[in-house]
Chains A and B, each alone.
Chain A
Amino acid sequence: MLENYAILPCNGLDKCAGVISREIAIKLCEEAKNVMICPVYARVAEAKYNKIVEEHALLVIDGCQTRCASKLAAEKNLKISRKISVTEEAKIHHIELKSDLRLLKNENNLIEKILNGLNNTDNIVTPPYDEIHYLYNFTYTTFQNGKFIFRVPTNPKIYFNENDCWAYVIGNRARIGVTDFVQQNLSDILYFTPPDIGAEIDQFGEVGEIESSKSVFELISPVSGKVVAINEALVTKPDLINENPYESGWVAELELTDFNSDKELLIGFDQYFEIMKKKVEELNG
């Protein structure tokens, strides 16, 4: 049974998925000792919930892919313990959501399935995980465009995809993050939405999101695996990614599931350096 959680639903009023998020939150609070956080009130008076958030683990329920509840949590620097997306759950359970805002059979069916899922998994917030020591004595090769310097580490254990994300692989684990190309283009990174700990990520699946006032960037994982840790420091200081996206700005750590196969579609320093250079030139040329 899910208990002692603070529940933050998106409570989206204009979409079926949002309405479902609200219903799930209500049920969770009725059935067990969980506390509701109203997203509307939290936005204007966050201090109201400080105590609740300190004393409870936080479950975020997003309705649609815009994920307003996750974003609100990121904006208020709240540490998310668990997260579900109604849209994703609907896909998993093969239930098609219509545009109807009333909860009918279809919707109630999905609500029941989601609640079952939540109540039947263990309440472990962070799975136990052994720290691997990552050495950060990279050497970098750089090139300059105007005054902007782009760096790429030459370490052979770092693999890249063409979506400007890297994976630093040690044994069956990898830390992942973004490259200087992303960091320079976004400029000052203000918000960080981490992936869920415990989430199973496919290769090229989404693994977190970073945002500046210029744009949003969704991280596309170079490797497949299970998220075992996130860089907690980024929750309060996302600009560490601007400082050094390869070291202090790493995003998440994954336990690899099929690296040998993933590797087929990854590139090393030599190739990525050339690709990044070309991208920078196209952008500025």
Chain B
Amino acid sequence: MSEFKVGVLSCSGEECLGGTISRLATRKVLEELKFIDTVTLCLPLYLAGGEEERNFAKVFPTISVDGCDKLCAKRSTEKYSGKINGFIDVSKIIGDENALNTKIVRNKDLTDEHHQMVDEVVSEIVKTISNISPDAYSGKTFHGCGCGNE
């Protein structure tokens, strides 16, 4: 089992395309890029009492992927878990006019062009993960858990 697990939190925003792209790119990193051991975390669980999500982000390095410059995922993670080891603003990659499109949000409406945007965000996520300082992985001991990650 890899010691280098990384949490990825996407905003999955429902109001505009940026949110959908953040979600799809995060899923793609999880499903297709096996050399990075990523774990997706549910943002709304932070407030709804998700012990597992909160603990994970406190102990493992975590990055956020946001659809627009409101950076909801980044800010909430900082608020509830204290730190973030990198963040991505999808609107900076695909441009505001795309990110803020409120008409095309559903998976079935996406075109090849949109899937290309997803891939661009995927490479940005990979880059961000590889830039995480090795220090972020240390001190990841759990209190009294004897976890199997060693």
Contacts and interface: CB of A to CB of B under 8 A. Distances in A.
User: Within 8 Å by CB, do A and B touch in the complex?
Assistant: yes
Interface stretch (B73-81, B98-106, B124-132, B141-149): B141-149
Contacts of B1: 145, 281, 284-285
A284 B53 CA distance: 18
Contacts, number: 42
Contacts of A141: 144-146
B144 A277 contact: no
Given A281-B1, A285-B1, A147 B146 contact: no
Contacts of B146: 141, 143, 277
Interface in B23-80: 39, 41, 51-53, 55-56
Contacts of B18: none
Q: Find the residue from A141, A143, A277 having the highest chain B CB count within 10 A.
A: A143
Contact of B55 (A144, A281, A284): A144
Nearest to A281: B148
Interface of A: 141-149, 277, 280-281, 284-285
Interface of B: 1, 5, 7, 39, 41, 51-53, 55-56, 142, 144-149
26 contacts: A141-B145, A141-B146, A142-B144, A143-B145, A143-B147, A143-B148, A144-B56, A144-B147, A144-B149, A145-B1, A145-B147, A145-B148, A146-B39, A146-B56, A147-B39, A147-B41, A147-B55, A147-B56, A148-B52, A149-B51, A277-B146, A277-B148, A280-B148, A281-B148, A284-B1, A285-B1
